[in-house]
Amino acid sequence: MGTLTCDILVIGSGVGGYTFALKAARFADVILITKKESVESATNYAQGGIASVASPDDAITLHVEDTLKGGAGLCHEDAVQLVVEQGPERIRELMEWGVDFTREHGRLSLGREGGHSRARIVHRADHTGREVEKVLTSLAKETGRIQVLEHHLAIDLLVRPKVRAGEPVDDGIRCFGAYVIDKKNETVGMISARAVVLASGGAGLVYQHTTNPSIATGDGIAMAWRAGAKMGNLEFMQFHPTALYERTEHTEERRFLISEAVRGFGAVLRTSDGETFMERYHPQKELAPRDIVARAIDAEMKKRGDKCVYLDGTHLSASGLRNRFPHIYETCLERGLDITKEPIPVVPAAHYMCGGVVTDLQARTSLQGLFAVGEVAMTGVHGANRLASNSLLEAIVFAHEAACECERWLKDAPPPPQAEPWSDEGTINQEEWVLISHDRQEIQRLMWDYVGIVRSDFRLHRAERRIRLLEREIMEFYWRTKVTEPLIELRNLALVARLIVHCALHRRESRGLHFTTDYPNRNDVQYQSDTLLSYGALSGDEQSESRVQ
């Protein structure tokens, strides 16, 4: 694909990437790359909505308090305050751009979800993400300054000076682009830029069961780590309590999400014998924070040996369910389930990474010229447990802040330096692709069984040993084989899995999304702080350098 140049390279096509690109197009030429079609992102699957203060009985202070409480002592209060205060303005901006949120009697229809003390979820029926994505992609086509490259996958970031194992990380490392593969013709080139924005989403595909789309393989986290960026709080993977359980398992990894808003609408959780159980775990019952609901479901399943529990909305208005959740209703009906007449079988699934690439309030990472927005970033908003529907809000607020900061950065940023060309010298076209699918499945099973909703030191150490072995084998395969999308993703999955396990082993307490049987209590004396990782903190990173001449 040769070499392309631009002012700003955006990696990822979710709400964060597109919101940033639209704002940056006022002052810069932008190239946005995405692994699939531009609408394939976690945003597109977001059902619930966007949390924002929008009613007379709500207040900024209440939304802040709910977020801090949900984050189990690890939220950064300044980041939470920034996001919540900007919420109403960013919602108005989306509406001005053309997003058609659901209204009732002329006012925004507001849902309520777990952990929220007020109804404040602005939504478009039960497909909010799809509505937002549709508007943003349409606007991007009209600007004339945003070039969207679909089916392009970033392999590694371009940085100076290069990070190498055994050497201290230079605080002056600058990011100026990425090596990118054009998946259609399998050629690798470079995109050179004066600033780079990671908006690549999360890492749900590290786990065997996830609500995430197939693109969520932790690429941004892995690339940023190899480039020398700081990471934080990767032990906090949120498991959504209610993903559709299907007795006839499909081959795809993604499970269909049953939005938390269904519980907010009045549906209740029951065991296989019809008994409700959430009252035994939390006073808010079905509207307890997600980590509590997920662990409660996990405990009830293990206690009875059941493969699922049931989300029952049959006592609710049938027309109300159909009108409020048309996408969920239609999808379940296609699979032989009428949610107005029978309970929905549900299980937890990996849903959202609360940790990621550490950023400040302007979305700046520890590398000069590299910004991060959305799920790939650790802004401090979510702490140890994301409050429902805060994620889309966080993404659009930090995309706004990143655009403002990028405009300042570009005024003084020098042209990008010359980068070493990519080299496939000495590699071959490998035919043993079954090795990739096998290793991918093994990582996912390991993470699900040993680094899931409930953990222990024994499980974590066992996972660590096996993942290290797998990663060594994967890197040997990587060095001798021409790169392809499956191999690039596998390399990233193995690295992100290792980072998650490392963070989990170092948090010797239970807090938020991290629950370990060895340390079942919260310990504010020793562990009320972020788990931060710098390059070189783990052995084996010498295998992670790019293939350049």
Residue-range definition of the domain harbouring residue 486: 434-544
Q: Which pLDDT score is estimated for 291?
A: 83
Q: Identify whether 36 is part of a domain.
A: no
Q: Identify whether 333 is part of a domain.
A: yes
Number of H helices, E strands in the chain: 15, 20
* Catalytic one of 90, 112, 226, 290: 290
Q: Identify whether 307 is part of a domain.
A: yes
Q: Which pLDDT score is estimated for 111?
A: 87
Q: Identify whether 234 is part of a domain.
A: no
Which tokens is 531 given? 């788990």
Q: How far apart are CA 128 and CA 459, in angstroms?
A: 38
Final residue before a domain boundary, out of 350, 372, 405: 350
The total number of structural domains that make up the chain: 2
Which tokens is 444 given? 């996912």
Q: Which pLDDT score is estimated for 248?
A: 56
Q: Identify whether 361 is part of a domain.
A: no
* Strand intervals (E) in 364-446: 370-372, 377-378
Q: Which pLDDT score is estimated for 424?
A: 86
Question: Are the C-beta atoms of residues 278 and 293 closer than 8 Å to each other?
Answer: yes
Strand order of the β-sheet with 309-312 is 237-244, 344-353, 309-312, 268-270
The verdict on 540 and 438 lying in the same domain is yes
Query: Phi-psi region for residue 73, left (φ > 0), alpha (ψ -120 to 50) or beta?
Result: left
Q: Which pLDDT score is estimated for 537?
A: 65
Helices (H), 98-230: 128-143, 219-227
Q: Identify whether 266 is part of a domain.
A: yes
Q: What is the CATH number of the domain that holds 284?
A: 3.90.700.10
Q: At what angle do helices 457-480 and 434-450 cross, to 10 degrees?
A: 160
**Does the annotation count 290 as an active-site position?**
yes
Final residue before a domain boundary, out of 324, 350, 376: 350
The verdict on 344 and 442 lying in the same domain is no
pLDDT along the chain (549 residues), means of 10: 93 95 97 79 60 96 96 97 97 95 91 88 84 92 94 96 73 93 93 97 94 93 96 96 76 74 94 96 90 91 92 96 92 95 95 97 97 98 93 96 97 90 84 83 94 96 97 93 94 98 97 96 97 77 49
Give the HSE-up count for residue 366: Cα atoms under 13 Å, Cβ half-sphere.
20
The DSSP line for 42-86 is: HHHH--S-EE---STT--HHHHHHHHHHHTTT---HHHHHHHHHH
Q: Which pLDDT score is estimated for 549?
A: 40
Which tokens is 258 given? 């049953």
Q: Which pLDDT score is estimated for 166?
A: 63
Final residue before a domain boundary, out of 288, 317, 350: 350
Q: How far apart are CA 415 and CA 413, in angstroms?
A: 7
Q: What is the CA radius of gyration of the chain?
A: 22
Q: What is the CATH number of the domain that holds 519?
A: 1.20.58.100
Which tokens is 92 given? 């108005």
Q: Tell whether pTM > 0.85.
A: yes
Helices (H), 274-389: 290-304, 318-324, 326-334
The full length of the chain comes to 549
Q: Which pLDDT score is estimated for 251?
A: 42
Q: Which pLDDT score is estimated for 542?
A: 45
Q: Identify whether 113 is part of a domain.
A: no
Strand order of the β-sheet with 532-533 is 377-378, 356-358, 231-232, 532-533
Q: Which pLDDT score is estimated for 250?
A: 45
Q: Identify whether 311 is part of a domain.
A: yes
Q: Which pLDDT score is estimated for 2?
A: 84
Q: Which pLDDT score is estimated for 546?
A: 54
